[in-house]
Structure 1
């Protein structure tokens, strides 16, 4: 009997030690947890889950019980778990707009949001969940510093390097908020130009606008080809991603007209492609003749066959907005163009004509 008692006691102690090693989720109401957060100086960590969420269950069973989780969370946070579909969890979900599960909220003592991880689960114990949380916290802390006006070279260098890995959207905002102030000469230095070249992908960012507006000055420092390639690739990549989304290309068409004046390679072809796509996407039947006018002069306007083909590919769904007479004029234009191109390009044009015939 004595040995059975000892074994039972050891098992209980072992279970207690195991529980203490992992994350200590306390049985507190939301307001009680906030009060304890304020009292202890620790932020509040909330595991937002639902009973039917598989990743939520995995985290509770296999990740939060890990010693490394216990060491980190128990030292730095008051931790609670709330089902977002019952009790006060419903109000928490509404207040903090929790829509995916699990979501992890880290709150300040007053209940304001410090940072969050939407769908922040990991799939196996080898994934470093603690480091994942630390990265989110560091991002929030550095963002606070930046918004308070921290602009030292050492801070910006560290912040930008961290954003390159963890938050591309914020990176675009930080680069646009700081780099134009440096001026063209400084931006042409290898380290800064590399950031512009590799990280600025959004045409609407102020930094890209600064580059376009000062392209001649950049070209004098870096060479025209380097600057032209960066600018045109950015416009082309955006068009490739956005052309089927009914985007209004008017501002882009204006930009490209300016680049045409500088004889930027591909600017005219891209402008025509955007024009075709905008008219067709928006079903602007009153503008079909604009497309016909371009087609009639396309070989003269674009001596490069590949550019011609790239424009003609944007005739997809043209038959939906053109009448039979307009379609016939289009086929006639395409037949004339096909006579002037190499066989491989002729075949592509023939396929485009065939698709129009279906209309």
Structure 2
């Protein structure tokens, strides 16, 4: 009798486990296997490109993919496969092959492994199903847009939608390649139209690219159609953030040769803001003799820079303060950053700056001040009829931290 009960319970457990597994998306084990099944069943392939460290990837794996409504939709229409892109094996190579640049990348392929549609970033169940519906629509998916572009459609609104779609999907390499070819085929007059400049901004063309070099060399043409102030600010901002990203990559890789070489080219262009940018990047690279971040040196350089240039661009204060917050982890360790934010808010009391002010304050364990800021952020949300969930979360976080780390 006991044996019968044991066998019965075991069978029920297996049946129950099978039912639970069937509720969510069923993933096969390799792209080759997925392709074989897709060809056999005349289905598209859904690929989840993920990494072990990606928080949105983990959220989707735990909370979205297992849901019954998601499984019912995907298992009926797609062959699904998960590919880990940090496993130092086949997944890494597949990530490179499909130009995966962000995680998770959610991609839909046809049975011949052509990209039909893709996006990057975590989605909840409803959004994931809507994405799959869009990918399944041959009149609206990315493959349709690509085919229409390749067939020669150059209507401005279509081109704008085409490039925006590629950029949102982190297919910037294809977007850039297609735009450079398109730009090269335009006449001198067409290159300087408002429509072409709008596309250049959609693609966020970067310094040292062919279109950007053309813009610099033909500024007067763009002045007439776009306006001098707009063109000059576009060029200046492009260099500022281009070098910030380039320096960040160089510091991470411990190789600043590319940054240094490009800065040398930048200097030869003799822009009046070169010295300003050079000092800014010196602040960002505040390392001590041991090669590690020197917080005191960073604050000293940051204060000197903001005193000289801070009023020209609020983003300087926001960026430098946020980075300083990342380096902070004890009571009053970097109150200089709090002072930076208070000086900014005194001259420009923009509600959106409170997020950075809140961050640097709680990172310095100033719980009461942080709580006041969080309360103000909630009041602003209520006044603008916005969701208060983030503000409520911040308030509770500070209350918990205040208990855990009493001063």
* TM-score when normalising by structure 1: 0.50
Q: Which has the larger radius of gyration?
A: 1
Identify the structure with bigger relative contact order (alpha carbons < 8 Å, sequence gap 6+). Answer: 1
* TM-score when normalising by structure 2: 0.45
